[in-house]
Amino acid sequence: MSGLTVRGLTVDLPGGPRIVNGVDLDLAAGEVLALVGPSGAGKSLTVRAIARLLPPGARVGGTARLNDVDLLAVDQAGLRRLRGTALGCMFQNPTAGLNPTMTVGGHLLETLRAHHRLPRVELRERGLTALAGAGLERPAELWQAYPFQLSGGQAQRVALALATACHPAVLLADEITTELDAVTQAQVLDTLRAHAAAGRSVLLVTHDLAVAARWADTVAVLEAGRVTEHGPAAAVLHDPQAALTRTLLRAAQLSSAALS
Amino acid sequence: MTTERTHTTPTPDGPALDPGADARPGGRPRGLLVVRLPRPRRPTGTIALAVLVGMGAIAVAAPLLTPFDPLATDTSATALPPGSPDHLLGTDLLGRDLLTRLLYGARTSLLVGLVAAAITVLAGTVIGALAAVGPRRLDEAITRVADTLLSLPLLVVVLALSTVAGPSLGSVIVAIAVTSWMPVALVARTALRTQRERRYVRAARSLGLSPAQVLGRHLLPGAIPPVASIAAFEVGHAILTESTLSFLGLGIPPNRPSWGNLLTEAQSHLLTGQWYTVAFPAVAIVITIVAVNALAATLARPESSAW
């Protein structure tokens, strides 16, 4: 699997200022890169711009190369083929990210059917494998469940199963543990880490420095639409160079001792 | 105030922290997975539906319910009042049985109402979907055309279309559909645009689903309640328009009984005191429209669109 290279990413929302202002990111295969920063820094917009999921009228500049394909320049048909198979996405509030009128199995079958022409039995097998790979026990029982019957942790794991069902090389995870309790958060992030160990690149957007410290290999600190610090997690968080990183660490009350 | 710390060992049914134990559906009775239809709080919708189903059944079974031909005249039994032997609702000036004509008229009027409303709703939803998910220019074009047609007096447009196409069942249905799709399209467009901003629609797009999959599985189901409620109103509107056109002589040809045609023929009877020739088709139309509108209002209630 190959990684993701973002160069000079800019996002202008209609009628507003430039929110993302020249972001550069390097995400190697099997790496977890935490994109941290305060609210309004442009973290989510960066992810949505890479996935081409911005609201209508937003203008995007720069490049985001994945497997030698510029995600920002590829046509709609090509983009649809890449979504799910090369680039997976997960978002905050997983229950709202699942269609309330469809079962878990329905979601998986639909996603797999969008990319593979296979018999239903085989699609179901792949779906069950994806659920198991997302850390869900008894996937066959969950197959018929509707989103309202899932806990927050289960819903986020189903979202992970959907995002990884077609084996994308890169996974974009935008604040995926914000609404989860600490224990479920750790379990979901451990599963994500296992996916990275298998070679998948993960761009993890979080405002929680403790999450970045424990689960990320590298950290990029975003401030007002620019990356102010980018490097190995241990180096950035133990010896912060940017003022914002120090401020964030002070606010989170994370000392070097706590981090280690 | 106590300073003593307490600790309780979680029971198997207590809060679960391991992923296996928090698998809620597995721990719940299977019965909870069954989708249960909401029961209406007020019986209005149920009664309205029963009335409409009953009317439809009577219309379909008309040949079994009456021995008379709706077009056959009988000079020995003209202008009989309601309650006459063999003629429950009486006869008209040509001796045709009014109950028979009312039952056969229901066939035509309900058929026009359902078919015209079905075409209207289908066309309106497709046009509204094109506006909602298509290019911005297409959206603007559709919206402007709909706004323009809505600003015209529709009865005049329907009259013009019926005059050009000539009176027939098909021309009435087409005329109603051509002039009625706009509210459906605008409601469908708004509902679909609202759905488009939902997180699960964005998630579906991020998974590489085709536009048809996103539209069919994620956008349309959420747009059904508002479209369904306006669809019910369209049935009533179509029945009324058919009656109006037939009353004006531009709708269903006179050789086919419809409630509108019965009213047209009854105009002359009013002067000779046969009030019932007007009353029965008028009551049939009123009951149908009230039932259709009651059903539409039930569908439009917020709890009907809970998701």
Q: What is the pLDDT of residues B256-300, one digit of tens each?
A: 888 888 888 888 777 777 888 888 999 999 999 899 888 888 876
Q: What residue type is B196 in one-letter code?
A: R
Question: What residue has token string 């198991």?
Answer: A132
Determine whether the interchain pair B24/A154 forms a contact, defined as Cβ–Cβ distance below 8 Å.
yes
C-alpha to C-alpha distance for B68 and B92, rounded to whole angstroms = 13
| Nearest-CA distance B131 → chain A (Å) | 15
For residue A208, count other CB atoms closer than 10 A to its CB: 19
| Nearest-CA distance B99 → chain A (Å) | 46
- Average per-residue pLDDT for chain A: 89
Could you tell me the pLDDT band of residue B7, with boundaries at 50, 70 and 90?
Answer: low
Could you tell me the pLDDT band of residue A254, with boundaries at 50, 70 and 90?
Answer: low
Q: Please enumerate residues of B whose Cβ is less than 8 A from a Cβ of A.
A: 17, 19-20, 22-26, 28, 32-33, 136, 198-200, 202-210, 213, 217-218, 221-222, 307
**What percent of chain B is modeled with pLDDT above 70?**
84
- Position B32 pLDDT exceeds 60: no
Look up residue B24 and give its two tokens.
């809620």
Could you tell me the pLDDT band of residue B306, with boundaries at 50, 70 and 90?
Answer: very low
Question: What residue has token string 């939902």?
Answer: B198
Determine whether the interchain pair A150/B210 forms a contact, defined as Cβ–Cβ distance below 8 Å.
no
Residue A172: DSSP 8-state? E
Exposure of B92 in the CB half-sphere (CA atoms within 13 A): 28
| Nearest-CA distance B130 → chain A (Å) | 16
Label residue A253 exposed, middle or buried (CB < 10 Å: 0-12, 13-18, 19+).
exposed
Taking phi over 0 as left and psi of -120 to 50 as alpha, with beta for the rest, A22 belongs to left
For residue B18, count other CB atoms closer than 10 A to its CB: 10
Residues in chain B with CB shorter than 8 Å from the CB of A142 are 23, 25-26
C-alpha to C-alpha distance for A69 and A35, rounded to whole angstroms = 22
Name the phi and psi angles at A104, rounded to 5. Answer: -60, -45
- Position B11 pLDDT exceeds 50: no
Q: What is the mean pLDDT of residues A195-206?
A: 93
- Position B1 pLDDT exceeds 80: no
Query: What is the pTM for the complete model shown?
Result: 0.72
Determine whether the interchain pair A100/B200 forms a contact, defined as Cβ–Cβ distance below 8 Å.
yes
Determine whether the interchain pair B200/A97 forms a contact, defined as Cβ–Cβ distance below 8 Å.
yes
What is the pLDDT at residue A159? 94
Name beta bridge partners: A34: A204, A219
User: Worst-scoring range by mean pLDDT, A220-224, B25-29, B93-97, B188-192?
Assistant: B25-29
Determine whether the interchain pair A85/B28 forms a contact, defined as Cβ–Cβ distance below 8 Å.
no
Could you tell me the pLDDT band of residue A241, with boundaries at 50, 70 and 90?
Answer: confident
- Position A71 pLDDT exceeds 70: yes
Could you tell me the pLDDT band of residue B12, with boundaries at 50, 70 and 90?
Answer: very low
Look up residue B155 and give its two tokens.
């009865």
H or E segment to which residue A11 belongs:
strand A4-12
Name beta bridge partners: A61: A10
Report the residue from A83, A145, A183 with minimal CB separation from B208. Answer: A83
| C-alpha pair distances (Å), A136 with each of A130, A153, A204, B18, B33 | 9, 10, 21, 11, 18
Name the phi and psi angles at A221, rounded to 5. Answer: -100, 125
In chain B, what is the straight-line distance between the N-terminal and C-terminal CA atoms, in Å? Answer: 47
Residues in chain A with CB shorter than 8 Å from the CB of B19 are 135-137, 153, 157, 187
∠ CA B205-B125-B110, rounded to 5°? 150
Residues in chain B with CB shorter than 8 Å from the CB of A141 are 23, 25-26
Collapse the DSSP code of A238 into the 3-class scheme (helix H, G, I; strand E, B; otherwise coil) and give the result: helix
Give ipTM to 2 decimals. Answer: 0.87
What is the pLDDT at residue B29? 43
Residues in chain B with CB shorter than 8 Å from the CB of A144 are 25, 33
- Average per-residue pLDDT for chain B: 81
A171 part of contact set with chain B, CB < 8 Å? no
| Nearest alpha carbon to residue B117 among B51, B70, B67, B176 | B176
A188 part of contact set with chain B, CB < 8 Å? no
Highest mean pLDDT among A29-38, A176-185, B91-100, B291-300: A29-38
- Position A257 pLDDT exceeds 80: no
What is the pLDDT at residue A260? 52
Residue of A nearest to B197 (CA): A55
DSSP per residue, A180-236: S-HHHHHHHHHHHHHHHHTT-EEEEE-S-HHHHHHH-SEEEEEETTEEEEEEEHHHH
Which residues lie closer than 8 Å to A143 by C-beta, 6 or more apart?
A103, A104, A105, A124, A127, A128, A131
Report the residue from B136, B208, B307 with minimal CB separation from A100. Answer: B307
Name the phi and psi angles at B276, rounded to 5. Answer: -65, -25
- Position B93 pLDDT exceeds 50: yes
Name beta bridge partners: A204: A34, A173
Could you tell me the pLDDT band of residue B146, with boundaries at 50, 70 and 90?
Answer: very high
Determine whether the interchain pair A101/B24 forms a contact, defined as Cβ–Cβ distance below 8 Å.
no
User: Worst-scoring range by mean pLDDT, A25-29, A164-168, B223-227?
Assistant: B223-227
Residues in chain B with CB shorter than 8 Å from the CB of A154 are 22-24
- Position A31 pLDDT exceeds 50: yes
What is the pLDDT at residue B275? 84
The 3-class SS string of chain B reads: CCCCCCCCCCCCCCCCCCCCCCCHHHHCCHHHHCCCCCCCCCCHHHHHHHHHHHHHHHHHCHHHHCCCCCCCCCCCCCCCCCCECCECCCECCCCCEHHHHHHHHHHHHHHHHHHHHHHHHHHHHHHHHHHHHCCHHHHHHHHHHHHHHHHCCHHHHHHHHHHHHCCCHHHHHHHHHHHHHHHHHHHHHHHHHHHHCCHHHHHHHHCCCCHHHHHHHHHHHHHHHHHHHHHHHHHHHHHHHHHHHHHCCCCCCCCCCCHHHHHHHHHHHHHCCCCHHHHHHHHHHHHHHHHHHHHHHHHHCHHHHCC
Q: What is the pLDDT of residues B222-243, one digit of tens each?
A: 888 888 878 878 888 888 888 8
- Position B149 pLDDT exceeds 80: yes
Determine whether the interchain pair A110/B209 forms a contact, defined as Cβ–Cβ distance below 8 Å.
yes
Interface test with B, best of A87, A93, A95, A110 (most B CBs within 10 A): A110
| Nearest alpha carbon to residue A97 among B303, B208, B205 | B205
Report the residue from A84, A97, A137 with minimal CB separation from B20. Answer: A137
What is the pLDDT at residue B123? 95
Determine whether the interchain pair A154/B28 forms a contact, defined as Cβ–Cβ distance below 8 Å.
no
Q: What residue type is A89 in one-letter code?
A: C
Look up residue B126 and give its two tokens.
């497709």
Determine whether the interchain pair B19/A136 forms a contact, defined as Cβ–Cβ distance below 8 Å.
yes
Q: What is the mean pLDDT of residues B103-118?
A: 91
Could you tell me the pLDDT band of residue B17, with boundaries at 50, 70 and 90?
Answer: very low
Question: What residue has token string 């935490």?
Answer: A34
Residues in chain A with CB shorter than 8 Å from the CB of B136 are 56
Could you tell me the pLDDT band of residue A196, with boundaries at 50, 70 and 90?
Answer: very high
Name beta bridge partners: A59: A12
- Position B40 pLDDT exceeds 60: no
C-alpha to C-alpha distance for A244 and B71, rounded to whole angstroms = 90
